Structure 1
């Protein structure tokens, strides 16, 4: 079975295009990931601390009203 140069060129071109598209998609995904602002992880200890400080402030405000 003879190998045609035009078929080899078409296959090589298709593979090259596929690789370039894949690299472009990965680059776009990395840039999108870098553009997102990091959010701090949820911490129950931090939530409990904020709740305690708000409760203490509320307690002081109730005492000052008396």
Structure 2
């Protein structure tokens, strides 16, 4: 009975370590893919769209503060 408990504990530890290693590998792949996407899209910022969204947000803030009522 003691050997079965020991074998079960060792199997559980082995499975835990294996899943953590797989999770770490997936996280590394995701970080590499994110870095590649950020480098590819770095020069594609739409300034007109950004300023338009900022103006809309400012107008909404003024309405919420009841400045334009």
Larger radius of gyration: 1
- CA shift for structure 1 position 38: 1.3
**Unaligned 5+ runs, structure 1:** 43-66
**Structure-1 separation of matches of 2:28 and 2:44:** 28
Divergent runs of 4+, >2 A? 39-42
Q: Between Structure 1 and Structure 2, how many residues are aligned?
A: 42
**Unaligned 5+ runs, structure 2:** 1-6, 48-69
RMSD: 2.4
**Structure-2 separation of matches of 1:25 and 1:40:** 23
Greater relative contact order structure (CA < 8 Å, 6+ sep) = 2
- 2:41 counterpart residue number: 36
Tell me the TM-score normalised to structure 1 length.
0.50
